[in-house]
Structure 1
Amino acid sequence: MTDTPRVELTPAAADLVRRLREAHGPLMFHQSGGCCDGSAPMCFPEGEFRTGDSDVRLESLAVDGVAEPVSFWMSKSQYDVWSHTRLIVDVVPGRGSGFSLEAPEGVRFLIRSRLVGT
């Protein structure tokens, strides 16, 4: 169970991360439990979203073709709900949050999940 990554990217999400990294530099994800798009993973330039004591760093994602790992953060309250799952970051057509870097691309990141151990 410790060898199982807590967060992973689909091939489509990894491709988008590579393109966003080229355009914006090092990246990070944050998923909160807020309203609107708050329960969707949002992508920011690394350090642009302020994390604090109410956030948990789940993992640093290694993405082929990206020099540095992409950190994935989640609010503690959201983590309590998702702690038994493996999070899979995917990308689908549609408009997500205007604050997330992929918004102008006409796509949005979303989370799929699997129970840990499956």
Structure 2
Amino acid sequence: MDATRAPQRLKATAEAVELLRRLAGIHGALMMHQSGGCCDGSAPMCYPDGEFIVGDRDVLLGVLDLRLGVGETLPTRPEGTDAVPVWISGSQFEAWKHTQLVLDVVPGRGSGFSLESPEGMRFLSRARAFTTRENADLAAQEVIVGQQWDQGCRPVPSPEPQVVAEAADACPVPGS
């Protein structure tokens, strides 16, 4: 399989990236985690990097490169505050592995532990179901889990743009 053909498991809207840039300017390096709980537990949560302990079986959805704008790609790996790893619990990944997660923001108050709480915006996960071909391409691609990350394993940067203008650009609404 051509690794460049597999779609990214993670995209972000320009607004989500802008909010992450603002938060990184205040708090330094960040990380995010999408858990499988109820209520606020099912929302993507933003933490200072290292303040949330990633489980050995949590799955890395991707690393958002905060240097990127809409439709841009860079061939290098982001570092420091430019890199925001986005994780999902292993059990939640099993339920969502057939979908691309699109990180977005909407007006409102974030969860009490998520850094965006005082910003008047909250992170929101949207999803797009992968096509049959995309699922086949992804099935041949290994995921990185927390234990591998701790051992220094990092994803290969994708040639596909990571940032979209709006969620509908990654998750088109049928009939619109």
**TM norm structure 1:** 0.91
**Alignment of 1:73 onto 2:76:** no
Please identify, of 88-97 and 47-56, the stretch whose mean Cα deviation from structure 2 is larger: 47-56
CA distance in 1, matches of 2:82, 2:16: 16
CA distance in 1, matches of 2:22, 2:86: 18
Unaligned ranges ≥5, structure 1:
none
- Higher-Rg member (1/2): 2
Query: Any conservation in 1 of the 2:30–2:81 contact (CA below 8 Å)?
Result: no
**Alignment of 1:92 onto 2:95:** no
Residue 115 of structure 1: which of 129, 133, 141 is its match?
A: 129
Q: How does 1:1-118 map to 2 (within 5 A)?
A: 1-2=5-6, 4-64=7-67, 67-117=81-131
Question: Which amino acid is 1:19 matched to?
Answer: R
Query: Any conservation in 1 of the 2:67–2:82 contact (CA below 8 Å)?
Result: no
Q: What fraction of aligned residue pairs are identical, expressed as a percent?
A: 56
CA distance in 2, matches of 1:116, 1:70: 23
How big is each residue's C-alpha offset from its partner over 1:23-43, in whole Å with a ceiling of 9 and x where there is no partner?
000000001111221111000
Unaligned ranges ≥5, structure 2:
69-79, 135-176
CA distance in 2, matches of 1:25, 1:96: 19
Figure out how many residues of one structure are paired with residues of the other and give that number: 117
Query: Any conservation in 1 of the 2:31–2:48 contact (CA below 8 Å)?
Result: yes
- Superposed displacement of residue 67, structure 1: 4.6
- Superposed displacement of residue 12, structure 1: 0.5
Once superposed, what is the RMSD of the aligned Cα atoms?
A: 1.7
How big is each residue's C-alpha offset from its partner over 1:47-80, in whole Å with a ceiling of 9 and x where there is no partner?
1101112411121111227853110111011111
Question: Which amino acid is 2:88 matched to?
Answer: M
Question: Which amino acid is 2:19 matched to?
Answer: L
